[in-house]
Amino acid sequence: MPEQNAGLDTLPRFVVDRSSPVPLYFQVAQHLEDSINSGALPTGTLLQNEVDLAASLGLSRPTMRRAMQHLVDKGLVVRRRGIGTRVVHPKLRRPLELTSLYDDLARAGREPTTRVLSFEHVEAGAGVAENLGVAEGSTVVEVVRLRSAGGSPIAKMTNYLPESIVSFTEDDLATHGLYELVRQQGVALHSATQTLGARTATAAEARLLEEPRGAALVTATRTTYDDHGTAVEFGTHIYASSRYTFEINLLT
Amino acid sequence: MPEQNAGLDTLPRFVVDRSSPVPLYFQVAQHLEDSINSGALPTGTLLQNEVDLAASLGLSRPTMRRAMQHLVDKGLVVRRRGIGTRVVHPKLRRPLELTSLYDDLARAGREPTTRVLSFEHVEAGAGVAENLGVAEGSTVVEVVRLRSAGGSPIAKMTNYLPESIVSFTEDDLATHGLYELVRQQGVALHSATQTLGARTATAAEARLLEEPRGAALVTATRTTYDDHGTAVEFGTHIYASSRYTFEINLLT
DNA sequence: CAGTGGTCTAGACCACACC
DNA sequence: GTGTGGTCTAGACCACTGT
């Protein structure tokens, strides 16, 4: 007699749509994820075994396994041989995504606004050229933005992009995240490296971010690469530490 | 005529060991990873298609696919339908691991040293109790450490652990990372949430970290969970921002 | 012992990219 | 078209857990 068992009530009501272009494993994973997030499958729940689940959904076991593995990759469940599949701490969602500050704030319902402080074509200095992988002195687009939420400034963001991939306008940047715009141009973002640190604000920075003189700022530099290992974007950012912190989830 | 093609030279020499307990897909993935890291399969190389690779290794296609997917998850290759599998930027390894500051410094060859400032059993306050998921007032172990590298202090780390999982000693902490010790006791670390921010140093903190008065510090709070979603460790740390920054790699 | 997930096979059909 | 990876099936055997 298992201590807890679920999926018996919620899952048989669910049927996959075989005419949908959405893969079956993904439909199942999505439904399980929704059930976990909605509380229908609370933390600690032991799911039905994959063989029975596959049978009750009319799927093969490999397809069911793939759905399960998807949830493992997201950190929502843990699987143990001889034991079963257990729902873990629901707080640990969204382990690794390349999100922008704009998306983060929007998701938190904080109504982000962006003011573009400058948008111009400049010659790449040594630092920018090295991080972006372009020749020093070549032309790149420099974007400086002030992002606010709830009327208070959060961050000053300075980004450099190769001229060739910028076809959006200054207006687009006021209402969309930078990554969103880059992705819409067909660039497949692959990975990014980010360095976080801290330093005290200069007088101008303190004024801009409405922080006291000498306040501690979070600093971030990020380089984003596409599928070919080509740098797509390099940015140096400062954040008002009294109003923003970085949340990072890690899976072992 | 493909622009670049590989696997023809290196892979047929490789044979899987079917008597090994190491899964076949892992043996293959490991060999490919080694080939990539050694430069035998340089950046941009287009691998053989998975069907041929499977055949030449005497494996089924699903097994070969699994090896490939393993490399995709590690960020080493990119797969595109209709195109093939391509080796990407070798600089972007080790996307996301749960590492400790000790491990990070040791890997960088900076000879970390640790001084245990205190090691005692205390009653959990409200904040610690909530983050650790224990009752307020229950006994937990508090560890305060000063980590240095190259003779200079880097961070002051304050950790709280449930009393039950601490069987190591103060001496162990001077020469090993906290995660290493926890893992050695059979605890399966699953995931962690970390929050990074910044603030100015107090007078005592500045003195301890050998930073100027009012210096900006990086602050980090981290909660680590095991497979059961139980909190294993909660810590609040401060870092001398002039000597340490956080490197983070993200995969989209 | 029975039950669980972990691995592996040998096929099949489909969607997409390039020529 | 031809070739690529993406999805799916219906089995099989093994390793580990708990009774």
How wide is the angle at C-alpha B37 spanned by C-alphas B33 and B40, nearest 5°?
A: 95
- Three-class secondary structure of residue A175 per DSSP: helix
pLDDT at res. A102: 63
Residue A161 and residue A1: Cα distance in Å, rounded?
60
Residue B49, class by beta-carbon neighbours within 10 Å (0-12 exposed, 13-18 middle, 19+ buried)?
middle
Average pLDDT over residues B3-7: 50
Q: What are the residue ranges in chain A where pLDDT is below 50?
A: 1-3, 7-10, 12, 95-98
- Name the A residues in 102-161 with CB < 8 Å from any B CB: none
Q: What is the pLDDT of residues B90-112, one digit of tens each?
A: 665 554 444 566 666 666 667 78
CA distances, A59 to each of A9, A62, A65, A88, B23 (Å): 18, 8, 10, 25, 25
Contact (CB<8Å) A200/B191: no
Contact (CB<8Å) A218/B196: yes
- Overall size of chain B counted in residues: 252
Please check whether residue B218 touches A, CB under 8 A.
yes
Contact (CB<8Å) A192/B228: no
Q: What is the pLDDT of residues B139-176, one digit of tens each?
A: 999 999 999 888 899 999 999 999 888 888 888 888 88
Statement: residue B7 has pLDDT above 50: no
Q: What is the pLDDT of residues A31-50, one digit of tens each?
A: 999 999 888 898 888 999 99
Do residues A25 and A68 touch, judged by C-beta distance below 8 A? Answer: no
- Overall size of chain A counted in residues: 252
Q: Give distance CA B81 / C1' D6 (Å).
A: 8
Q: What is the pLDDT of residues B189-213, one digit of tens each?
A: 888 888 889 999 999 999 999 999 9
CB proximity B80–strand C (7 Å threshold): yes
For chain A, the average pLDDT equals 85
Percent of chain B with pLDDT over 90: 50
Interacting residues of A168 by C-beta distance below 8 A, sequence separation 6+: A176, A181, A184, A185
Residue B144 and residue B236: Cα distance in Å, rounded?
10
Chain A residues with CB under 8 Å of B247 CB are 193-195
Tokens of A99: 């999100």
What does the radius of gyration of chain B's CA atoms come to, in whole angstroms? 23
pLDDT at res. B229: 73
